[in-house]
């Protein structure tokens, strides 16, 4: 099979990233209501409580995957094949050790659950939680060394393969989980399926890396100073990883401890929408990670380097804003009615959980290309400082607010912390430490916002006066809102290059349909 060039690989990767996002959302729309009604609120809350607890051990990754791409890009530019092989060996060794540590920590928690949950879980829930924790601990222990192969594939910019196997996993998992749920295996059965599919994905990545990308490794004789550089670079990313876990998982753990599994279930549904919201932004910025590192490593003139990085920052941010604005404003208008139909009774507060997470997160999500720019320039310690502040604010506020207002209080605490960190501190760091023209970025975003005025007015009247008691009426009003939004941003927000990008995608799609029709 003819090898794709980098440009085509990026295009296919970007396309498949949105296919993956669409698959995740479609599966969630179809599968989650079924799963919620079979499991029940408490069992679903238990599943999310345990998953959040064990996921906090992923902080042991210490940001090494990002460090791998940085060092690989440096060696690749100079065609230093042997150094790449020794880099592979080093990462496999380090991750193997981390995997053992993660597994042992998970096993310890499995047999000492009351240290985490105190009286928040019933005896029956504690027994199920133990089995789930053991499976997830084993999964985490294996995933660490296997992530070396994932990083290797990403460094080669083979995004098509990564996204393709993830799409297969997303689509196939429910077909295995539903029969187990109907047979009464509950949250334990769901966990077992997740473990099995993750092992299959890991195996596929290993085979692809070795057979297609000629993965090789050597141990020992590492470059002088490599350990020091690696740990200095990764240590700062580790702070970001820890903070991300605090902000994403701690809420569920604290709710499980103080409020019980029902509140965790309510929070998890709201957080699910925020998770998909995040995917809409990261799916496009991810494919630019290797390109950002190439610019930093190959463009020596700092002014030209900053200019190129600013262009990427603005280009990605504008596209992300147009997509996220549709999703966020659409959720504000239709989210309450959708959750009532989709999740059923008992999840009304999930709407506010989602809003308190989604709206403040928008600032960071339209700027997430800047995260990788900081890493490529090795100035990511400044983001780490702001994230530490965010974690502390979130922790203190969540402990207080979740006990008073449950799931909504926990999400509001996270939202407040995000505003302090992302809107104020991070933008200052981008401007001062990376050379990104932040003022130019926000001017672009403000100009784009002109296209949101009419859709927001339209959405207000739809939410206030429209009847949305069924999926059909809800879908019709969503279509009306989407049409108003698309027309307004096309004429009032999008620049020429963005319109050309959309037209190019449409033209390629229609030409392929015509070719297919001609061959039949």
From first to last of the 520 residues of the chain, give the pLDDT tens digit. 344 455 566 667 667 777 887 888 888 888 888 888 888 888 888 888 888 888 777 766 666 666 777 778 777 777 778 888 888 888 888 889 888 998 998 898 888 877 777 666 778 888 888 898 899 889 888 988 888 888 888 888 787 888 888 889 989 999 999 999 888 888 888 889 989 999 999 999 999 999 888 888 887 666 666 667 776 666 666 676 777 776 677 788 888 888 888 888 899 899 888 887 887 676 666 667 777 878 887 777 888 888 888 898 998 889 889 989 999 999 999 999 999 999 888 899 999 999 999 999 999 899 988 888 887 887 777 777 787 888 889 889 999 999 899 999 999 999 999 888 888 888 888 888 888 889 999 999 999 999 999 999 999 999 999 989 899 999 999 999 999 999 999 999 988 888 887 887 778 767 766 665 555 5
Q: What is the DSSP track for 219-231? A: -S-PPTTHHHHHH
Supply the pLDDT for residue 384: 74
Supply the pLDDT for residue 119: 64
Tokens for 101, please give them.
């540590």
Instruction: Give me the count of residues in the chain.
Output: 520
Half-sphere exposure of 63 (CA within 13 A, CB side): 25
Supply the pLDDT for residue 94: 84
What are the helix and strand counts (H, E) for the chain?
20, 0
In 3D, which of 193, 189, 198 has the Cα closest to residue 141?
Answer: 198
| Distance from C-alpha of 128 to C-alpha of 109, rounded to nearest angstrom | 13
97, 100, 133, 146, 180 from 137: Cα distances, Å: 14, 10, 6, 15, 21
Per the listing, tokens 């380090």 go with 94
- pTM of the predicted model, to two decimals? 0.73
Q: Which residues contact 281 (CB under 8 A, 6 or more apart)?
A: 320, 323, 324, 365, 366, 368
Q: Would the CA dihedral through 460, 464, 468, 473 be positive or negative? A: negative
In 3D, which of 30, 15, 25 has the Cα closest to residue 277?
Answer: 25
Q: What is the DSSP track for 455-490? A: HHHHHHHHHHH----SHHHHHHHHHHHHHHHHHHHH
Please, what's the b/e burial string for 22-60 (b: 16 or more CB within 10 A of its CB; e: otherwise)?
ebbbeebeebbeebbebbbbbbbbbbbbbbbbbbbbbbb
In 3D, which of 156, 88, 431 has the Cα closest to residue 294?
Answer: 156
Burial classification of residue 462, based on how many CB atoms lie within 10 Å of its CB (0-12 exposed, 13-18 middle, 19 or more buried): middle
Supply the pLDDT for residue 378: 76
| Distance from C-alpha of 94 to C-alpha of 238, rounded to nearest angstrom | 14
Supply the pLDDT for residue 2: 42
**In this structure, are residues 447 and 318 in contact, taking their beta carbons and an 8 Å threshold?**
no
Angle at 70 between CA 64 and CA 76, to 5 degrees: 130
Q: Which residues contact 292 (CB under 8 A, 6 or more apart)?
A: 309, 312, 369, 372, 373, 376
Q: What is the DSSP track for 276-342? A: HHHHHHHHHHGGGHHHHHHHHHH---HHHHHHHHHHHHHHHHHHHHHHHHHHHHHHHHHHHHHHHHH
266, 276, 291 from 282: Cα distances, Å: 25, 10, 15
């Amino acid at each position: 099979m003819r090898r794709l060039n980098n440009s085509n690989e990026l295009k296919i990767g970007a396309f498949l990233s949105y296919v993956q996002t669409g698959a995740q959302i479609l599966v969630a729309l179809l599968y989650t209501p079924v799963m919620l009604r079979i499991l029940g609120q408490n069992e679903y809350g238990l599943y999310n409580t345990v998953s959040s607890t064990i996921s906090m051990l992923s902080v042991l990754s210490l940001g090494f995957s990002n460090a791998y791409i940085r060092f690989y890009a440096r060696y690749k530019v100079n065609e230093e094949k042997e150094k790449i092989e020794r880099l592979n060996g080093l990462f496999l060794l380090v991750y193997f050790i981390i995997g053992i540590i993660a597994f042992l920590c998970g096993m310890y928690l499995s047999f000492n659950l009351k240290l985490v949950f105190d009286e928040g879980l019933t005896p029956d829930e504690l027994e199920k939680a133990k089995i789930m924790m053991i499976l997830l601990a084993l999964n985490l222990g294996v995933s660490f060394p296997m992530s070396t192969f994932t990083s290797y594939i990403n460094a080669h910019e083979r995004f098509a393969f990564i996204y393709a196997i993830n799409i297969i996993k997303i689509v196939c998992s429910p077909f295995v989980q539903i029969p187990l749920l109907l047979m009464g295996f509950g949250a334990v059965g769901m966990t077992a399926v997740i473990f099995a599919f993750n092992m299959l994905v890991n195996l596929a990545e290993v085979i692809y890396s070795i057979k297609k990308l000629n993965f090789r490794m050597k141990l020992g004789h590492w470059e002088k100073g490599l350990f020091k550089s690696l740990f200095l670079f990764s240590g700062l990313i580790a702070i970001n990883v820890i903070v991300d876990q605090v902000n994403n998982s701690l809420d569920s753990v604290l709710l499980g401890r103080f409020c019980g599994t029902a509140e965790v279930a309510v929070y998890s549904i709201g957080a699910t929408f925020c998770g998909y919201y995040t995917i809409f932004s990261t799916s496009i910025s991810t494919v630019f990670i290797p390109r950002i590192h190439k610019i930093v490593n190959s463009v020596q003139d700092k002014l030209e380097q900053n200019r190129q990085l600013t262009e990427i920052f603005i280009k990605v941010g504008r596209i992300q804003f147009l997509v996220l604005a549709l999703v966020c404003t659409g959720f504000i208008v239709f989210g309450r009615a959708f959750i009532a139909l989709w999740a059923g009774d008992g999840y009304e507060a999930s709407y506010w959980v989602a809003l308190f997470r989604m709206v403040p997160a928008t600032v960071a999500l339209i700027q997430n290309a800047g995260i990788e720019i900081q890493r490529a320039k090795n100035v990511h310690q400044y983001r780490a400082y702001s994230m530490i502040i965010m974690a502390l604010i979130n922790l203190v506020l969540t402990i207080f607010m979740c006990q008073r207002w449950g799931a909504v209080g926990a999400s509001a605490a996270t939202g407040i912390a995000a505003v302090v960190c992302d809107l104020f501190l991070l933008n200052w760091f981008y401007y001062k430490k990376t050379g990104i023209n932040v003022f130019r970025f926000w001017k672009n975003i403000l100009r784009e916002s002109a296209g949101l005025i009419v859709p927001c007015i339209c959405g207000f009247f739809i939410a206030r006066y429209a009847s949305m008691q069924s999926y059909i009426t809800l879908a019709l009003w969503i279509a009306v809102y989407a049409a108003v939004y698309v027309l307004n941003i096309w004429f009032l927000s999008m620049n020429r290059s963005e319109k050309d990008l959309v037209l190019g995608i449409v033209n390629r799609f229609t030409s392929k349909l015509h070719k297919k029709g001609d061959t039949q």
